[in-house]
Structure 1
Amino acid sequence: MISRQGTTDDDGTLLETVRLLLRPWRVEEAAIHRELWTERDPRVPAHRRIDADGRPSVADLEDRIRRTAHAGGPGLGLPALERRAERDVIGYCGLIEGGPGAHALDPEHPGPEIAFELLRRTQGQGYATEAARAVVQWAQEAGVEQLHATVWAWNAPSRRVLERLGFVTMRTQTTENGPGELLVASKIL
Structure 2
Amino acid sequence: MSSKLLIDAWPATRTTASSRMLWMADGYAEGALVLCNAMASDDYYPQYTNTRVILHLCRHATELFFKGAIAVKSDKFPKIHRLDTLYAQYKLYYPLDQYQLKLPFPQTVFNPSEGLFPDLLDDYVQTHDQRFRYPIDNKGTPFYDTERFDVLAYQAAIEQFRTELNLLVWAIDSDWPAERLPIRDRSS
TM-score category by the smaller chain? under 0.3
Query: Higher helix proportion, which one?
Result: 2
TM-score by length of 1: 0.24
Give the number of the structure with larger relative contact order, counting CA–CA contacts within 8 Å between residues 6 or more apart.
2
Query: Higher strand proportion, which one?
Result: 1
Rg: which structure is higher?
2
TM-score by length of 2: 0.24
